[in-house]
């Protein structure tokens, strides 16, 4: 993990030449109240505290971007066919972030201009995602992502995984910052990427990165793994359990079934 | 207290799950029905993915059918030969049903097919039951009105492969119960029901079985058909949520006891009339949701 961080820092140094970053980069140190989250049977979403120190000024801004492990997402459109509403079109977004959340000290538009935000991929509307039609017939038209991205972001927002509002970040004396990262109950397991950016006068002054590791744990992990890795035995076990559960029940429920006659 | 359902992959309040199990258990005790046709739509209303609701409910019905059939076996109310033919058809039908289920799921149309099946069958069954109970109530007020004949001979009895079913006092073609079993098995796989609400009338009106063996024989074959669905859904679609099934079952055991006691307070025709109204209400709610324009025409599903 430390090595990954070092590599990442080197990568940042590399991007300095791109011109987005000024020559005199500051420094951010960030940590999470909990880096490992376990989806256990009692899991109902959780809130993590992201906190840290920054070498900055009171007028600086902090932007935090949390993105979940990339996953394919089916995006379906309904239309009325014969009086009922059915799915008539399916497109697949390739490797879309399964969670996408932006937190900032101020509204994004006041922190940097749209072009800068787009280059840094801050905000759901700046994501460069590939869209493909589910049926890849030869000569099939590849759908245009731009036209669909807005409705996609809206649909993802309604699942709670891509909150449309920018969450708050509190920056104290230009030195200490803190933000609450909300993980809804339907997060998937995997490695989550947390980017922390320090903005000064509309440009990135420094940047840091950390990870959240989400895993299924406890009984729910056991059941999930059992169901997927040994599905035959899972099925047999489920049937055996049901038969056993039905057995002692008969003296109570039997009477009513026996009474049932036409 | 919320509980994370590992296969449905959603978090649900444990009170809702136990309440659903208990409520439907109460109704199944009250009306003497399996309850799958009420539970599956209710699970869908509460946000369980329809595919998971169907497969999980099949698992739960295994348990409730086992508990029901034991009492009937003790009374000798199970025609094992007829049950065997029905379940041979049922295994064929449900195996095909699970394949169809997987195909429709991959196409993204399974939710629609589940809901449509419910609207059609709940509509038909609820309507017929309501008609029947209204007639029965009217008839009971006018004693002396002629009773309908239960067992009629028609072309169905002319089919080949005739077999003798001693317990049912029938000599009919084996193809007929095989076909009925296959059809109900298909419904069991697609709708997550035992199919008693179709099997029982089919046995009485199409096969002409005596009413005393109908329920026991139906329950007997439902055990194997729903067990087959549970097994095949586990293997092919991994949509059986064991934790959800267990909790629903726990609630249902308790609810059924109260339901059985409450059933003593109401008369048969009234009970059936009430059940019919409930079935129609679920049917209307599902149908309404399909016909009314959704607030958002687009929807997303994470594919893992």
**Is residue B303 assigned to a domain?**
no
Could you give the angle at which helices B268-291 and B14-31 cross, rounded to 10 degrees? 140
Q: Would the ipTM clear 0.90, i.e. be above it? A: no
Which candidate, B162, B258, B171, places its Cα nearest to that of B208? B171
pLDDT at B239: 92
Which candidate, B296, B236, B253, places its Cα nearest to that of B102? B236
Name the residue with tokens 């909300």: A182
Residue of B nearest to A241 (CA): B63
Q: pLDDT tens-digit profile of B256-281?
A: 888 878 877 877 777 778 888 888 99
Q: Is A140 helix (H, G, I), strand (E, B) or coil?
A: coil
Percentage of residues in chain B having pLDDT higher than 70:
93
Cβ within 8 Å of A, B 239-268: 240, 242-243, 245-246, 249, 253, 256-257, 259-260, 263
Report the mean per-residue pLDDT for chain A. Answer: 83
| Interchain CB distance below 8 Å, A45 and B11 | yes
Confidence of residue B295 (pLDDT cuts 50, 70, 90): confident
- A224-A230-A233 Cα angle (round to 5): 105
Q: pLDDT tens-digit profile of A59-90?
A: 899 999 999 999 999 998 889 888 889 888 88
pLDDT of A260 > 60? The answer is no
**Is residue B126 assigned to a domain?**
yes
pLDDT at A250: 46
A227 or A132: which carries more pLDDT confidence?
A227
**Is residue B297 assigned to a domain?**
no
User: What number does CATH give the domain A2-216?
Assistant: 2.60.40.2550
Residue of B nearest to A74 (CA): B301
Contacting residues of B for A186, CB less than 8 Å apart = 9-11
pLDDT at A261: 38
Residue of B nearest to A78 (CA): B297
pLDDT at A254: 46
Q: How many CA atoms lie within 13 A of B132 on its CB side?
A: 17
Quick one: which H or E segment has residue B253?
helix B242-263
Please, are residues A48 and A171 in contact by the beta-carbon 8 Å criterion? no
Could you give the angle at which helices B242-263 and B50-74 cross, rounded to 10 degrees? 50
Quick one: which H or E segment has residue B181?
helix B175-191
Query: Is A237 touching B (CB cutoff 8 A)?
Result: yes
Q: pLDDT tens-digit profile of B198-246?
A: 888 888 878 888 888 888 888 899 999 999 999 999 999 899 998 999 9
Which structural domain, as residue segments, surrounds residue B251? 11-142+154-291
pLDDT at B89: 94
Contacting residues of A for B272, CB less than 8 Å apart = none
Contacts of A7 by beta carbon, 8 Å cutoff, 6+ apart: none
B155 CA: distance to closest CA in chain A (Å): 24
Q: pLDDT tens-digit profile of B50-103?
A: 889 999 999 998 988 887 788 788 888 888 988 999 999 999 999 999 999 999
| Interchain CB distance below 8 Å, B300 and A216 | no
Query: Is A147 touching B (CB cutoff 8 A)?
Result: no
B216 CA: distance to closest CA in chain A (Å): 8
Contacts of A168 by beta carbon, 8 Å cutoff, 6+ apart: A103, A104, A105, A179, A180
Contacting residues of A for B240, CB less than 8 Å apart = 227, 234-235, 238
Torsion from C-alpha of A9, A10, A14, A19, nearest 10 degrees = 20
Start-end of H helices in chain A: 2-16, 108-111, 114-119, 145-158, 218-229, 231-246, 250-259
Confidence of residue A15 (pLDDT cuts 50, 70, 90): very low
Which candidate, A215, A224, A243, places its Cα nearest to that of A35? A215
Distance CA B290, CA A85 (A): 6
Distance CA A90, CA A214 (A): 29
**Residue of B30, B223, B235 lying closest to A235 (CB–CB):** B235
| Interchain CB distance below 8 Å, A87 and B109 | yes
**Residue of B29, B227, B240 lying closest to A253 (CB–CB):** B29
Domain ranges of chain A: 2-216, 219-249
Distance CA B276, CA B273 (A): 5
Number of domains comprising chain B: 1
B100 φ, ψ to 5°?
-60, -40
Distance CA A238, CA B263 (A): 31
Residue of B nearest to A81 (CA): B291
Q: How many CB pairs under 8 A join A and B?
A: 237
Pull the structure tokens for residue B236. 């092919």
Average pLDDT of span B287-304? 87
- What is the Cα Rg of chain A in Å? 24
Average pLDDT of span B32-56? 87
Query: Is A45 touching B (CB cutoff 8 A)?
Result: yes
Average pLDDT of span B110-129? 89
Cβ within 8 Å of B, A 10-39: 39
Cβ within 8 Å of B, A 102-141: 134
Q: pTM (2 decimals)?
A: 0.79
pLDDT at B224: 92
Tell me which of A97-101, A142-146, B96-100 is least confident.
A142-146
Pull the structure tokens for residue B177. 């119960």
| Strand pairing category for A46-54 and A70-81 | unpaired
Cβ within 8 Å of B, A 166-195: 185-186, 188
B286 or B164: which carries more pLDDT confidence?
B286
Kindly state the DSSP code that residue A94 receives in the 8-state scheme. E
């Amino acid at each position: 993990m430390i090595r990954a961080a070092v590599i990442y820092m080197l990568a940042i140094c590399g991007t300095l030449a791109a011109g987005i970053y000024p020559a005199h980069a500051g420094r951010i140190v960030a940590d999470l109240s909990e880096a490992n989250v376990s989806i256990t049977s009692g899991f109902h979403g959780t809130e993590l505290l992201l906190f840290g120190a920054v070498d900055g000024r009171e007028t600086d801004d902090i932007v935090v971007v949390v993105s979940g492990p990339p996953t394919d997402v089916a995006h379906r459109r309904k239309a009325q066919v014969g009086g009922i509403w059915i799915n008539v079109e399916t497109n697949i977004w390739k490797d879309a972030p399964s969670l996408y959340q932006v937190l900032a000290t101020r509204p994004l538009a006041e922190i940097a201009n749209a072009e800068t935000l787009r280059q840094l991929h801050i905000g759901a509307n700046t994501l460069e995602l590939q869209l493909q039609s589910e049926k890849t017939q030869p000569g099939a038209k590849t759908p245009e992502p731009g036209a669909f991205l807005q409705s996609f972001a809206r649909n993802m927002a309604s699942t709670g995984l891509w909150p449309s509002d920018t969450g708050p970040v509190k920056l104290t004396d230009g030195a200490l910052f803190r933000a609450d990262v909300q993980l809804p109950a339907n997060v998937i397991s995997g490695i989550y990427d947390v980017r922390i950016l320090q903005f000064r006068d509309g440009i990135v002054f420094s940047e840091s990165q950390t990870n959240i590791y989400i895993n299924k744990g406890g009984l729910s992990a056991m059941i999930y793994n059992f169901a997927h890795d040994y599905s035959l035995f899972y099925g047999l076990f489920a049937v055996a359990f049901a038969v056993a559960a039905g057995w002692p029940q008969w003296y109570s429920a039997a009477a009513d079934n026996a009474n049932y006659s036409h | 207290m919320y509980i994370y359902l590992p296969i449905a992959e959603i978090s649900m309040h444990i009170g809702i799950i136990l309440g659903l199990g208990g409520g439907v258990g109460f109704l199944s005790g009250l009306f003497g029905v399996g309850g799958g046709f009420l539970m599956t739509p209710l699970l869908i209303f509460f946000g369980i993915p329809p595919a998971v609701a169907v497969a999980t409910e099949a698992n739960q019905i295994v348990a409730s059918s086992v508990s029901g059939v034991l009492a009937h076996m003790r009374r000798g109310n199970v025609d094992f030969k007829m049950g065997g033919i029905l379940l041979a058809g049922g295994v064929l039908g449900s195996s095909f049903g699970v394949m169809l289920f997987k195909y429709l799921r991959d196409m993204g149309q399974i939710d629609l097919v589940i809901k449509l099946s419910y609207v059609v069958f709940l509509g038909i069954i609820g309507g017929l039951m309501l008609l029947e109970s209204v007639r029965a109530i009217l008839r009971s007020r006018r004693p002396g009105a002629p009773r309908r004949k239960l067992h009629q001979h028609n072309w169905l009895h002319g089919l080949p492969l005739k077999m003798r079913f001693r317990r049912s006092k029938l000599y009919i073609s084996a193809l007929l119960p095989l076909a009925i079993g296959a059809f109900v098995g298909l419904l069991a796989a697609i709708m997550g029901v035992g199919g008693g609400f179709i099997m029982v009338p089919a046995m009485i009106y199409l096969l002409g079985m005596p009413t005393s063996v109908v329920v026991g024989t139906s329950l007997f074959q439902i055990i194997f058909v729903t067990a087959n669905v549970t097994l095949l859904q586990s293997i092919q679609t991994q949509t059986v949520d064991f934790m959800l099934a267990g909790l629903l079952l726990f609630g249902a055991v308790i609810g059924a006891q109260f339901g059985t006691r409450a059933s003593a307070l109401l008369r048969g025709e009234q009970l059936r009339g009430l059940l019919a109204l409930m079935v129609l209400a679920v049917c209307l709610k599902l149908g309404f949701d399909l016909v009314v324009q959704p607030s958002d025409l687009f929807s997303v599903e994470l594919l893992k």
